[in-house]
Structure 1
Amino acid sequence: MTGIVDFDRMDAAYPEIDVARALLSGALRDGRMRTEEARAFLEGYREQAAAPRGMLSRSMRLLYVIESGWWLRTEVRRDGELRRLLARFIAEMHWLEANWDTLAEQLDGL
């Protein structure tokens, strides 16, 4: 059994954003969303909470609106040490930008 503990938002924000964050961190690899991993996460998640089909594209967009301001700041992109530490998050934001128009096609059927 595997579990995810999210101390960051702790029920203070939209649960959909936490789903998007977990999927980006857990299923996005080498610039590609691993749909089988994403589907497995959602199956487990749906045993505990509602995750209607079709919510993922919206949740990814919400996550981008909230997090892109943090990860795409000039000083993060410019500072070598910060960029190395935060490279994963920067890459996730760029993946969302590159896939913005096809998020529904890629994710909403999971």
Structure 2
Amino acid sequence: MQTPALFDAVPALGAVDGGLIEYRYVDAVKLAGHSCPTVAGAWLMTRAALARRCSGEIRVELRRFIDEGVAGVIASVASIVTGAANEGGFKGLGGRFARNGLLGLGVPMKQS
């Protein structure tokens, strides 16, 4: 698949060492089916949040519901990178590694 050179220039998240999966911007584009300001913004916001995260589980929360505006696209991009999923996501193994319930949409919060 040929993509614009810009996609390879966008910094990647993650690594291959230690069993971690590396995601690049082109993966978010493949998920969304196109590149646009929303996909790019979701990628950059998720990347910035991960760079500042504290130890512990990752939780993704959006004020809007999945069918409002571009919330679904933002949630999808954040989900592919973080693994955070709604109730339908991975339930874990032996009480560990669960990703379900870590993606919240329509969460009440202050608008800034």
TM-score normalized with structure 1 length: 0.36
Identify the structure with the greater helix proportion. 1
- Which has the higher relative contact order, 1 or 2, with Cα contacts under 8 A spaced 6 or more apart? 1
